[in-house]
Amino acid sequence: MATAERGPEDVAADKVTAAPGANGPVDDLTTTQHVLTVGRRKLKYTATAGRIVLRHEVVTDGKFDGHRPKAEVFLTAYTLDGADVGSRPVTFAFNGGPGSSSIWLHLGLLGPRRVVSGDAGELAPPPYGLVDNAETLLQHSDLVFIDPVSTGYSRAVEGEKPGEYHGFTPDLESVGEVIRLWASRNGRWMSPKFLAGESYGTTRAAALAAHLQNRHGMYFNGVMLISAVLEFGTLDFSPGNDLPFALFLPSYAAAAHYHGLIPDRELSAVLADAEHFAAGRYPYALAQGNRLPAEERAQIVERLAGLTGLSPDYIDRVDLRIEHTRFFAELLRSRRQVIGRLDSRFTGWESDAAHEVSVDDPSMRAIMGPYTAALNHYVRAELEYLNDLPYEIISGDASKDWSFKEFENNHVTVADKLAEAMRANPHLKVHIAPATTTAPRRTSRPSTRSPGCRSRRNCTTTSSSTTTRRVT
């Protein structure tokens, strides 16, 4: 188990940092020492948690009026003690939403401690648990988890409008400023640097790679995209856009297979079949519209029924187009259950078993309690950070207000920005980690996965879960 130790030598690390002459709020960082045993190896590391103040330069009528505080952003950083910062990598990580804190990557995947929440069909009861993470990325890289403004403990300062940070460009600028400040204050400009994002965090990471290069000359060694979405047209189930109906088919097939609706076949074979159909005959049939011959339409209906577990009658009635929130409600309707969006292995019940679409997400309900309890305990008991604000796991206000005004009348895309970063930095590598039983939600602010640089001349793509993409 990780242990925390503090001594007089830690006092200096606890001092706040502020811009010269700055007034108002100051950083409130705490520092603790820990030891993690991974196999036969002991990792001694320093954890730093708290909020850093973001400021902007104020110029009035051509005169510089100083640095004005604009937001306080919460982060948690883990650095291996005694490491050579010239060779030791550092990874900046965040989740998506938009409007999500970084809790999921922090306590569920990459950090040195992880939540014990159980699994689908075997959920742990309250008060849950928190244990060492033997698979933490800290074995290979220092870690900085960032909560964007309005998530976690991050807030706009008094007098500032939180909504000004709820948008594509201001989000990039504020998260990018956190990264710049942390690298500068911790002497890490010469360290190998990586970005890791999940869901909308992959949109942010891809765009940040270009933004930080162009704005600050900060070049990265790699970008990790977990459940990636680089082109929102791949998940927008709007009239006239048939692309997502085909792209979601493999996830539908995986869910149907897990719930026993495609018996006597290996998952790998089912997925290969679904991917082949989704890449060829299915989108061709959708493009035919009313010109599709009746006999061929009947064949498509039967094929889709065999791959999705849905009835031929249902598929025919929805005109071959299976929208994802309908799928979550329809797949196990005969059992009066719905399946999860974040993880379709999870099942739940709704008050009305006749809903056309799923209203709730049983997979989100399953993890919200364990992660919330673990985070609130962990920051206080182990990281010794005290704050009376509620830790916003997901900010409904940020999600509701999020602006993509930069892409008005167009689908949001950042594939071109990632390609731009890769052209400028031929050493930049991209790792793609897609999910099998995860599907996006349909909102005006889509977030989660897509194949990425689809149909871009300057990108290559692959369905492999481990991918290095290079500019051609």
- 3-state helix/strand/coil string of 308-337: HCCCHHHHHHCCCCCCHHHHHHHCCHHHCC
Rounded average pLDDT over 279-288: 96
pTM of the entire structure? 0.87
Q: Which of 345, 316, 315 is nearest to 330 (CA)?
A: 315
Q: What is the mean pLDDT of the chain?
A: 88
CB 240 within 8 A of CB 289: no
Residue-wise pLDDT tens digits, 378-395? 999 999 999 999 999 999
Q: Which of 174, 114, 186, 87 is nearest to 144 (CA)?
A: 186
Residue 463 pLDDT grade (very low, low, confident, very high; cuts 50, 70, 90) = very low
Q: Which of 109, 59, 318, 395 is nearest to 226 (CA)?
A: 109
Helix, strand, coil abundance in the chain, percent, nearest 5: 35, 20, 45
Percent of the chain clearing pLDDT 70 (strictly above): 87
What pLDDT shows up at residue 447?
A: 30
CB 25 within 8 A of CB 121: no
Please work out, in degrees rounded to the nearest 5, the angle formed at the alpha carbon of residue 366 by the alpha carbons of 364 and 370: 105
Of residues 20 and 256, which shows the higher confidence score? 256
| Residue 8 per-residue DSSP state | G
CB 94 within 8 A of CB 146: yes
Rounded average pLDDT over 397-422: 94
Q: Where are the beta strands (DSSP E) in 95-228?
A: 113-116, 118-119, 122-123, 129-132, 142-146, 155-156, 193-198, 222-226
**371-398 burial string, b = 16+ CB within 10 Å, else e?**
bbbbbeebbeebbbbeeeeebbbbbeeb
Q: Which residue has the tokens 């997901």?
A: 394
Please state, in angstroms and rounded to a whole number, the distance separating the CA atoms of residues 307 and 220. Answer: 41
Query: Can you list the domains of the chain with their CATH numbers?
Result: 3-191+379-410 (3.40.50), 239-360 (no CATH)
What pLDDT shows up at residue 8?
A: 34
Rounded average pLDDT over 281-287: 97
